[in-house]
Amino acid sequence: MVRQGVRACCVSVLRFFLMSTILIESRQISLRSTLVMSMKAIGFALWQLQHPEISDTDPSPGEPEASRFIMSFASPWGTLPHSYSKVDVSSVFLHFQARWMEITTRCQAGAETYHGIWLHRDEGDIPNGGKDADDDLHLLEMRCGFAIISTTFSRLPLYTMVVIWDNDQALQSKIHVDALLTGNAIPETYRIGCLSGVGFFLSEISRSLKRVLMEWKFFLDRLDRSLSRSLSQLTRIKRRDLMFDDAQFSKSDEYFAVLQILHTSTDWIKGVTSDLQTMQMALNHMLLTQIAYFEKSEDPEQKEEQQELAKAQPFLDSVFAHVIAEYEKQAQPILSRIERKMEEMKGLRDGLFNATSVREAARGTSLAKNSSLQNRYILVFTVATILYLPMGFVTSWYGMNWFTPDSVSSASKTPFIIVFVVVSMATYIVAACGLWFVHDWESWRSMNDIWGSIRRLL
């Protein structure tokens, strides 16, 4: 047993040095600028997670899981599970991902000239104060992925861990084993026994999540610099640019985009906690199932493994609790900062809407006054038209040759005078009745409703 444990430790350290060497060579191709995972990186990750020395019984125990990890890292978020656990008789496989946002001033370069797997990442932009589209802030989703395959049949397990980052990470050419084992590990890790590989995996996640939170801090710093308001913008002349929107509604667009980005950032940061809890529940369920399976076995080795797993499982819960609590503690200042930024954006948005509402109300009042004045003009012209309409109509009618009298006596003018007076009075009466009816239209509607109610009652 001791000989096997020493062998496991040596192989694990050797693989770590190989990983360092190959990743240093592959840094010439930046995933950040190409959005492509090179074939060298893919082959190395698959080789690490499928290495035959992990298990003497299965030549490639992690083959489907390794491919699942690579495809999950390259696929759009949510297409494949970004947190995955699998426990079998002699090994455990885990993978986990976290993501953050990064702001760039230009679109990402294409990757047509590189060979590998295209990394599907979300992209967006924030309008930069109504300036040209080239000045917009471009947002890019960034990720880091973790995978481990570890044995569970010995107190000193054999495990291999792979960590992938979208952007470049400075790596040291030499890493001391003592620093690796003591500097980054959670104290409870050394009491897990056969699951100590999982403990070191969680320790690496906890250490890397600190960097992820630093990336979130850099993101918020860049966002603050882009959206900051100086005292010069609060002068009497420039203050109106903050209070009122332009014809393209650029400020409303900017505030809406920033608020949505901040909401999304909060969801992404809090999502890490829920993903860790999901992985913990899934792993616990599988371990308890494995323990129950070993209890029914008569094999002494499986009985011994059952005891080791039963001993390690409570300490594994402690490691998970430590990782989650540490992350929530460090994420709280970032979440509070995002909340304050959201309140600031909401204040600017509400001020913009209030100022716009006041301006629109003032415009509406002005339009109402103009409309009232125009209505008076129309009323004057309408009255004048009604006064002269019947006179002009009768005069034009009798001015035709049909009604030309043979004599110009006063008797021939009598029909004209009668028609003139009757038509004019009839027109005035009809116009007055119509005006009164329109003026009291609401009263007529009320009376009709009352009569309708009375008829229904009768």
Whether 116 and 164 have beta carbons less than 8 Å apart is answered as no
Residue 420 lies in a domain: no
Task: Please tell me the distance from the alpha carbon of residue 297 to that of residue 300, in angstroms, as a whole number.
Answer: 8
Domain count, the chain: 1
Whose CA is closest to 316, among 51, 5, 87? 87
Kindly list the distances between the CA atom of residue 194 and the CA atoms of 87, 130, 173, 204, 337, in Å, as whole numbers in the listed order.
13, 59, 29, 18, 41
Radius of gyration of the chain (CA): 41
Task: Please tell me the distance from the alpha carbon of residue 137 to that of residue 232, in angstroms, as a whole number.
Answer: 23
Residue 440 lies in a domain: no
Token pair, residue 363, equals: 């415009």
C-beta contacts of 105-112 below 8 A and 24+ residues apart: 105/135, 105/137, 105/138, 106/138, 107/138, 108/32, 108/33, 108/35, 108/138, 108/140, 109/33, 109/34, 110/34, 111/34, 111/35, 111/36
pTM over 0.85: no
Give me the amino acid identity at 105: T
Task: Please tell me the distance from the alpha carbon of residue 54 to that of residue 39, in angstroms, as a whole number.
Answer: 23
Residue 389 lies in a domain: no
Give me the amino acid identity at 199: G
Task: Please tell me the distance from the alpha carbon of residue 346 to that of residue 231, in angstroms, as a whole number.
Answer: 20
SS3 state of residue 379: helix
What's the pLDDT score for residue 172?
A: 40
Whose CA is closest to 154, among 288, 56, 19, 63? 56
What's the pLDDT score for residue 416?
A: 72
Low-confidence ranges of the chain (pLDDT < 50): 1-33, 55-57, 59-60, 107, 109-113, 169-182
Q: What angle do CA 132, 231, 103 make, to 5 degrees?
A: 40
103 half-sphere exposure, CB direction, 13 A CA radius: 22
Cα-Cα-Cα-Cα dihedral sign, residues 15, 21, 24, 30: negative
What's the pLDDT score for residue 131?
A: 59
Q: What are phi and psi of 199, to 5 degrees?
A: -65, -45
What's the pLDDT score for residue 329?
A: 94
Residue 400 lies in a domain: no
Pairing between strand 116-118 and 83-87?
unpaired
424 half-sphere exposure, CB direction, 13 A CA radius: 15
Whose CA is closest to 27, among 146, 211, 168? 168
DSSP one-letter code for 76 = P
Task: Please tell me the distance from the alpha carbon of residue 29 to that of residue 168, in angstroms, as a whole number.
Answer: 9
What's the pLDDT score for residue 325?
A: 93
Cα-Cα-Cα-Cα dihedral sign, residues 436, 437, 441, 443: positive
Residue 189 lies in a domain: yes
Residue 452 lies in a domain: no
Task: Please tell me the distance from the alpha carbon of residue 404 to that of residue 406, in angstroms, as a whole number.
Answer: 7
SS3 state of residue 160: strand
Range of the domain at 203: 2-360
What's the pLDDT score for residue 39?
A: 83
Residue 287 lies in a domain: yes
Whether 84 and 95 have beta carbons less than 8 Å apart is answered as yes
SS3 state of residue 142: strand
Residue 24 lies in a domain: yes
Token pair, residue 453, equals: 């109610």
